Amino acid sequence: MYAIVAHHFWDRPGGGQLVCASVAKAFEATGYKPVLSSVPRFELLDKYVEWFGINLSSYNVVSAINVKLRAFGIYLRLLVWLSIEKALDRYAPSIVFTDECTYKPVEKFIKEKGVRFIEYIHFPIELSIDPKYKGSGLYYGEDPYILERYSKFPMNIYWWGYSKLLPMFLRRNPFEIASLVLTNSRWTADLCRQIYGDTPKVLNPPIAPNVEVLKKPREFDERVNAVVMLGRFSEEKRYHWVIEEVLPMLKKEVNDVKLYIFGGAKTRTSISYIERVEELARRRGFRVSRRMDNSADLYLVPDAPRNTINNVMDRAKVFLHATINEHWGIAVAEAMARGLPVVVHRSGGTWSDLVAEGVYGYGYTDAQEAIETVSRILTDKNIWSSFSAKSIAKAKNLTLDKFIEQFRYLVKPLT
């Protein structure tokens, strides 16, 4: 029996790719033969061991268009239905999983074939494009997550084109089509309930297997005054905000503190953004380096290997996350696995599920609160030790094995 796992673009190490790769392993554990479905050609299959510690090399792959593409990411989403259609024709699967919402052209085909269908919702796109959600704080122009990335020229034109084309491909209420609707957090589940009238099952994304959940992290006294951030170099991660609003005052509180920012930077947009962050830091008098062996206040490290990130996390004291309305926050989960206390914005799934509204980590609403919280953790051994232990406790429930176990439980009624 075949199971299709459809994603618009597999060739980068993002949160969506991790979820889909993990679902493929879960299908295999359930007795299915996974088939990976992509819009452009899937060329970096072997990189998943390096990126996540997940081996996908034995799985079949279907591409909607047999070309290599690394740009126009949100437009590729519009064609995910085509990759599903090709996979359905070629493999006649028993079940299909996708974390995309653009499968309207194959809705009827799915129903006619009686294929069991699972949709995983990272974020309900209707909130961003439907004018009736103006004033919600999550509509385009209101949501900082979207605003940071797509409000300025030429990205606003890029988004406008996508939003005009999307209704042609956007499925209707997923609960009327899918056999099972899943989502990443309680926060996202509540948004879905408001839009669709039904609540999806929550399946938190896993921590990648190559990020070990430490049994005994280094003690406070063995660490240095360093803050870590992790996530692709893009506007919505708000690294520029940290450089402008947080780091200058934090240096006054803890003068020897260093900030490490790790992230993917393979696209023109991300390269431009890292250059902007670097320039902002230099203008404020910070010593900046992209090399780990130089002395600096700020380290901007693009495309670092996992062992480098882990090594820095294991000697730092705090993980800071600046994204507003983050749908989940896999980077935060990875930091928790290393025993780092985490400080996140009081919004999104990061706040609702990962730190459980203050149970497993700290939250902030503005720069001053972020500065005070980070400096307190950097300097107070008791606070650090307490929240380091809480991070580990949370991370133990987010392993790939736990994800597979929960996925199999949720899918069992369909099999």
pLDDT (tens digit, 9 = 90+) per residue, 217-241?
999 999 999 999 999 898 889 999 9
Residue 44 placed within a domain: yes
pTM attached to this predicted model: 0.90
300 & 374 share domain: yes
Residue 350 DSSP label: I
183 & 260 share domain: no
Residue 362 placed within a domain: yes
Strand order in the sheet with 201-202: 60-63, 33-38, 2-6, 95-98, 116-121, 180-183, 201-202
Residue 163 placed within a domain: no
Residue 250 placed within a domain: yes
The range of the structural domain enclosing residue 106 comes to 2-125+170-208+399-414
403 & 277 share domain: no
237 & 361 share domain: yes
Residue 198 placed within a domain: yes
Q: What does the pLDDT look like over 68-102, one tens digit per residue?
A: 766 667 899 999 999 999 999 999 999 999 999 99
Residue range 335-349: average pLDDT? 97
Number of domains observed in the structure of the chain: 2
- Note whether 265 and 232 are within 8 A (CB): yes
Query: Which helix (H) or strand (E) element contains residue 90?
Result: helix 80-91
* pLDDT value for 113: 83
409 class by beta-carbon count within 10 Å (0-12 exposed, 13-18 middle, 19+ buried):
exposed
- Note whether 183 and 306 are within 8 A (CB): no
Percent of the chain with pLDDT over 70: 98
Alpha carbon distance 384, 371 (integer Å): 15
203 & 313 share domain: no
406 & 372 share domain: no
Q: Which residue has the higher pLDDT, 374 or 135?
A: 374
* pLDDT value for 70: 67
324 & 282 share domain: yes
Torsion sign over Cα 283, 266, 301, 351: positive
pLDDT at 205 > cutoff 90 = yes
220 class by beta-carbon count within 10 Å (0-12 exposed, 13-18 middle, 19+ buried):
middle
* Confidence tier at 186 by pLDDT (50, 70, 90): very high
Residue 162 placed within a domain: no
234 & 352 share domain: yes
78 & 193 share domain: yes
Residue 138 placed within a domain: no
* pLDDT value for 202: 98
* pLDDT value for 265: 87
Q: What does the pLDDT look like over 353-369, one tens digit per residue?
A: 999 999 999 999 999 99
277: domain CATH number is: 3.40.50.2000
Task: Give the DSSP letter string of 277-298.
Answer: HHHHHHHTT--EESSTTS--SE
224 & 364 share domain: yes
What is the average pLDDT value for the chain, to the nearest integer? 94
Alpha carbon distance 261, 319 (integer Å): 10
42 & 59 share domain: yes
* pLDDT value for 148: 67
Residue 263 placed within a domain: yes
* Confidence tier at 182 by pLDDT (50, 70, 90): very high
Please, which residues have CB within 8 angstroms of residue 111's CB and are 6 or more apart in sequence?
177
First to last CA, the chain: 11
201 & 307 share domain: no
* pLDDT value for 139: 80
